[in-house]
Structure 1
Amino acid sequence: MSTFSKICSAIAVLVILMAGGAWFAFEAYTRSPMQEESREVPLVVPDGASFNQVIDDMARQGAVTYPFAFRVLVRIRKQQQQLKAGEYLINTGWTPERLLQELIRGKGVLYTLSFQEGLPWWDVAKKIEQQGFARAEDFSKVIHDPAFLKKNNIPFSSAEGFLFPETYKLHKPKVLNEASAENVASMLVHMFWQKTSSVWGDDVPDTKVLQKILILASLVEKETAIASERELVAGVYRNRLERGMRMQADPTIIYGLGQDFDGNIRRADIRNKNNEYNTYQHRGLPPGPICSPGLEAINAAMDPAQHDYLFFVAKGDGSHKFSKTLKEHNKAVRKFQLGKKK
């Protein structure tokens, strides 16, 4: 073999070794943490942004090491056009391979939306607005829209009672409008049907029964936070209904007063017959739920306790004194509400 051929062969071997070494180093790069110190870095990917722009942005924040190698990874995987716009929280402890997958899957950051049992729809709307998922005004329009109610099998004039109290994880919308409000409202109602399937299974109550259950459950939710009392309270209201008595529930008056309620129920409020939710003046259950109850209250409304109680009064410690007669009830009122022994 001539000297020239030997040199060419040596160069070829050297090139192969260098290429193999480069490939080995590249593969090691894709599978190793980008940084030894793990930290979270917020990243916003705008609509229409290219991978090159995003990689430059990540490099400026120190979130990706060896940006050239990351560009090569994107090209090798042929995923230049698969970048998803959105808001991300990336971690410098991730491998480049995982970072790429996060950016093309587009799941982004999930935020928490949370509210407790017993809130009326306007307080739910405020929380949704405060947490940046929809405007309260848009949410109100959606949950009172007959088309929305029909689509979601809601037999009331609003979605009150169906806005299931839960902790949700979701993306924040780019634009706050009626569409984003409907997305949130649909999610809450879907959760209601999903959770209550454990109560009635496939045998969903007919419209009238469902209305009665949800209204009664909302009263139970507002009247007591003590688990052991829920069935008792439901039983009191069932007994009153069976005897044709008025419910005489303060929370119904409050709901009828709406967002104007200032914290005090006045004698005029109790006497107000124009308030259709005033169960001191109108017999039977109010026309609709007065809040969105939790699953425990719904269970209590489905199966009230069997007893002879017709009255209950708050004892001041969160619990209630239950009575069978008006005489017993008046005595309990004097003791627990008026501070008298007799």
Structure 2
Amino acid sequence: MTEPLPFEPSSLPAAPRPRRVGLAVAVVVLGLLTLGAGLVWNFLYRPNVPATVEGPAYLYIRRGVGLSAVLDSLRRPELLARPGDFARVARWWGFGTPAHPVQPGRYTLSAGLGNLALLRLLESGRQDTLAFTLKPFHYLPQLPRQAGRQLSLDTAQLHRLLTDNAYLMRRYGLDTATVRTLFIPGTLRLFWPTPAAAFLDSVAARHRRFWNPRRLAEADSLKMSPVQVAVLASIVQRETAQPTDKPLIAGVYLNRLRRGQPLQADPTLLWPLHGLGTRKRVLNVDKKVDSPYNTYRHKGLPPGPITTPYPQALDAVLRPVHHNFVFFCARPDGSGFSDFSETFAQHKAFARRFQHHLDSLKIKR
């Protein structure tokens, strides 16, 4: 005998229609997928580098650093709008691991970059160059300090290379005294992390570009090598800042060289005393210093430059004003110009006038 049901069939709720259930599930799934896609898009592609009124920002990554150091740099104000989002994506990506190593360099953070694009940029190592300004320097130890302020460079290694006579001769045909002629002040385009040897090679490449066939021919017409031109140009540069006086002073020194006279250039006396850039005047006692740079005691050019001459000073020696002057003296008006003379008597008259001006200044003080 069949057991009676505990309820009447008519009391059961109507079963839902399968079509409506499937539609509801599809809507929920679609919503979840849309939400997930939106989150993924936000994390990967939503712009994270804001625009600034100063222009593009730069991220500097030193050699040997890991993800933590990169993230610390990116937390600086105005580099990223949401540094936390980038950190999550970077860790998910595995940035900083052997499979995705950190590449050193200076990177331009263009406005509108998303996290994924930024990661791909940093991982690729596609850094940009910067304008390195090489300024004149008098002594070799000054160069590594100057380069280290603008570049990520091993300054100790650069110093070792500059003092390695065998390396300099083999690589550039110069020694520790003449290597300073390799450096022509101006702007070079370099990568921010630059090895010391690559830095010197870049400097040498600029030197080769400067010494084109025309300038080499001009040096040859003076019976001088590029090194000799640079040594004399370094003296001319220290004697005056007036562009029009440079070729005139170059002509004076060339006349002395042709006549076999000592150059008697005051700036060369200060170089071995490490007084260039710190002392304004030369004393009589300085003329007694026993040094190959003492052009009062030794004829001809000193063994190396006393500073790194600008292209204008080099060209002043290559294209001097032809005259018969063998003396010059600074004018007492403080203009920076000089008075030129052919005879010692004329020169003494100019020198007395200049000394009288100095004496009057002392009295006023």
Structure 1-normalised TM-score? 0.73
Residue aligning to 1:70: 89
Q: Confirm or deny that 1:268 pairs with 2:319.
A: no
Matches within 5 A, 1:1-342: 3-4=17-18, 7-8=21-22, 11-12=25-26, 15-16=29-30, 18-19=32-33, 22-23=36-37, 26-27=40-41, 30-34=44-48, 47=64, 49=66, 63-64=82-83, 66-67=85-86, 70=89, 74=93, 81-86=99-104, 94-96=112-114, 97-106=116-125, 114-117=133-136, 119-128=138-147, 139-158=158-177, 159-167=179-187, 170-171=191-192, 181-197=196-212, 200=215, 209-258=225-274, 263=279, 265-272=282-289, 274-315=290-331, 316-339=334-357
Deviation at 1:293, TM superposition (A): 0.9
User: Which secondary structure does the structure 1 equivalent of 2:303 belong to?
Assistant: coil
User: Which secondary structure does the structure 2 equivalent of 1:256 belong to?
Assistant: coil
Deviation at 1:126, TM superposition (A): 4.3
Residue aligning to 1:176: none
Contact 1:43–1:90 (CA under 8 A) maintained in structure 2: no
String of CA shifts for 1:95-133, please: whole Å, max 9, x gaps: 224422332133669787545335333433443456685
Alignment-mate amino acid for residue 355 of structure 2:
Q
Q: Cα–Cα, structure 1 residues 181 and 265, in superposed 2: closer, same or farther, change >3 Å? A: farther
Deviation at 1:165, TM superposition (A): 2.1
String of CA shifts for 1:19-73, please: whole Å, max 9, x gaps: 356446644664443276759696768847469x966996898743535873599
Deviates most, 90-99 or 236-245: 90-99
Structure 2 regions of 5+ residues with no counterpart? 1-15, 360-365
Q: How many residues align?
A: 330
Deviates most, 295-304 or 64-73: 64-73
CA distance in 2, matches of 1:185, 1:306: 36
Residue aligning to 2:6: none
Q: Cα–Cα, structure 1 residues 141 and 103, in superposed 2: closer, same or farther, change >3 Å? A: closer
Alignment-mate amino acid for residue 116 of structure 1:
K
Contact 1:88–1:109 (CA under 8 A) maintained in structure 2: yes
CA distance in 2, matches of 1:279, 1:170: 41
Deviation at 1:295, TM superposition (A): 1.1
Structure 1 regions of 5+ residues with no counterpart? 174-179
Deviation at 1:242, TM superposition (A): 1.3
Q: Cα–Cα, structure 1 residues 15 and 129, in superposed 2: closer, same or farther, change >3 Å? A: closer
CA distance in 2, matches of 1:70, 1:204: 60
Residue aligning to 1:177: none
Q: Cα–Cα, structure 1 residues 280 and 63, in superposed 2: closer, same or farther, change >3 Å? A: farther
Deviation at 1:137, TM superposition (A): 6.3
CA distance in 2, matches of 1:142, 1:182: 8
String of CA shifts for 1:255-275, please: whole Å, max 9, x gaps: 233469973533233134x31
User: Which secondary structure does the structure 1 equivalent of 2:353 belong to?
Assistant: helix
Alignment-mate amino acid for residue 29 of structure 2:
V
Alignment-mate amino acid for residue 192 of structure 2:
H
User: Which secondary structure does the structure 1 equivalent of 2:260 belong to?
Assistant: coil
Flag the structure with larger Rg: 2
Deviation at 1:338, TM superposition (A): 3.4
CA distance in 1, matches of 2:135, 2:351: 29
String of CA shifts for 1:80-100, please: whole Å, max 9, x gaps: 933424476786954224422
CA distance in 2, matches of 1:203, 1:326: 30
User: Which secondary structure does the structure 2 equivalent of 1:278 belong to?
Assistant: coil
User: Which secondary structure does the structure 2 equivalent of 1:321 belong to?
Assistant: strand
